[in-house]
Structure 1
Amino acid sequence: MGMGVNLLSANTHNIIMAMTGSGLFTPEGPAIYHYDSRTKEGRLLLAELIARPRLSLTYPPAINWSLHATSINKFPGQNDTFSGAVRKDIFTFSELKRKAGNYTVCQGDLCCHLDYQMSNKSKDEVYVLGAFDGLHGSTIKYHWQICTLLKCKSTDLDTCGQPVETAQTKFDMFSLSGTFSTSYVFPEVLYSGVQLAPGEFEVLRDGRLRSKHSTSKPLITATLFGRRYEKDPPHPLRPSP
């Protein structure tokens, strides 16, 4: 749904390195995917994809990913941000302290806006809104802009950003947007059990990632991944053979 092209995501299955899944994705949703964090077994995924999705009658219209987020003011009164690491990237987080409301979190050029209502906030679960605008990676670096609503591993805010696989809190609604500096943005919604949620959310033409109805299962994360290709540093020189 981001670039409007087919995406083939291949990973070596290595649960020790948190490499736990792969998939074949189309502009209309996942064709097939597999997630497994418990065994060392691999799996070959096969699916039939449209060769030229742009020619499809159901090809989604272009999205202005920053339109909504740049048209509204920052939601007021959230100065209590803190930092946390997601796979070594330092995010700026703000805890969702109420059952419903709206929040803004900014980092660098990126401001992320969230409007939400939880249906059954669990007392032992903490959710945060996070923003990241910077380089990801060690040897080879990529520039990401990320807005994420995510569940923390525990009620200790120091655990926010650590891997989570299960949740109990459902949402009546959520709407996530950001002031992205790129048109290459990829949405992702994950439910408890690390399950995708095709058909349960939509992306509006003004860049809002929005639930169509109450989440059918508890929510782990809803995220917008933006790629600023033009800000990637030069690829490190490979040694000559």
Structure 2
Amino acid sequence: MGMGVNLLSANTHNVSQAMTGSGLFTPQGPTTYHYDSETEEGRLLLAELSAHPRLSPTFPPAINWSSYATSIKKFPGEKDAFLGAVRRDIFTFSELRQKSGNYTVCQGDLCCHLMYQMSNKSKEEVYVLGAFDGLHGSVIKYYWQICTLLKCKSTDPNTCGQPVEMAQTRFEMFSLSGTFGTNYVFPEVLYSGVQLAPGEFEVVHDGRLRSKHGTSKPLITATLFGRLYEKDLPHPLRTSP
């Protein structure tokens, strides 16, 4: 653009296709975001972002995403693991049966470790730790490694991975980590009402995603999304010249 301005544009708001929100995100957290699963109205989000964030004295140091997870022995949790679908991706899940505990779930090369303590465990709510290591997508296939703590839609384990918007269970603490084969890992914490939680969690330099002071609202999910770009399949519609 002639004014020397970069325009970043992303996402479509289409509730019928589960496109329900968008945002502008930086290493320091979200600058602006919007979530709406009720209406089809659009929303233009504007924010000013630093062109050279790495030059800032507050830019966070590099994280070794697998350091902690590869340094500890596996926690229990493998023997009662089960499979479930998030969208169309088949995750390996393990139910968090106690109010507090340590769990490990593995799939492929990825092992996900969770330490947690709930402040109030609702009997009507089931939470699981899940791992996914594989290709995502139907036409365009790209490679994910995902560790997730999530609330199931109901107490039926078959609903684990289906969309959830509300929850009742709060956590005194949680710490989530994984043996990622990539440095491109993106954390996400969602509270009841599908609200982001900036400032309430942190990523430690050894790769642990953890709560700072417990969750101020009930938790829907805490997730680490790892992207292995070198394992993506070639774009099926792109032909080499």
1:49 aligns with 2:49: yes
The answer to whether the 8 A contact 1:65-1:178 is kept is yes
Residues 9 and 24, structure 1, Cα contact 8 Å, conserved in 2: no
**Aligned residue runs from structure 1 range 126-141, under 5 A:** 126-141=126-141
Aligned to 1:121: 121
2:62 aligned partner, one-letter code: A
Q: What letter matches 1:144 in structure 2?
A: W
Alpha-carbon distance in structure 2 between the residues aligned to 1:28 and 1:69: 23
**Aligned-pair CA distance for 1:239:** 7.5
Report the equivalent of 1:170: 170
Contact 2:136 2:144 in 1 (8 A): yes
Q: Which residue of 1 aligns with 2:23?
A: 23
Q: What does residue 11 of structure 1 align with?
A: 11
Report the Cα offset of residue 129 of structure 1.
0.0
CA contact (8 A) 1:131 1:145 kept: yes
Q: In the TM superposition, what whole-angstrom CA distance separates every residue of 1:102-150 from its partner, at most 9, and x where no partner exists?
A: 0000000000000000000001000000000000000000100000000
Task: Give me the whole-angstrom Cα distance separating, in 2, the residues matched to 1:202 and 1:70.
Answer: 19
Structure 2 stretches of 5 or more lacking a match?
Answer: 1-7
AA of the residue aligned to 2:25 = F
Tell me the matched-pair count.
233
**Corresponding residue SS for 2:54:** helix
Shift in Å, 1:238: 3.9
**1:151-230 mapped onto 2 (5 Å cutoff):** 151-230=151-230
Aligned-pair RMSD on alpha carbons? 1.2
4+ residue runs over 2 A deviation: 237-240
- Shift in Å at residue 217 of structure 1? 0.2
> What TM-score results when the alignment is normalised by the length of structure 1?
0.95
Secondary structure, counterpart of 2:69 in structure 1: helix
Query: Residues 144, 77 of structure 1: CA spacing in aligned structure 2 closer, same or farther, 3 A cutoff?
Result: closer
Q: Which structure 1 segments of 5+ residues have no match?
A: 1-7
Letter of the 2:36 counterpart: D
CA distance in 2, matches of 1:94, 1:135: 21
1:235 shift after superposition? 1.2
TM-score computed with the length of structure 2 as normaliser: 0.95
Q: Kindly indicate whether the alpha-carbon contact (under 8 Å) linking 2:140 and 2:236 is maintained by their aligned counterparts in 1.
A: yes
1:51 to partner: Cα distance? 1.1
What CA distance in whole angstroms lies between the structure 1 residues aligned with 2:223 and 2:214?
Answer: 17
SS of the residue aligned with 2:70? helix
Q: Distance in 2 between matches of 1:70 and 1:9?
A: 37
- CA drift at 1:237: 3.1
* 2:45 is aligned with 1:61: no
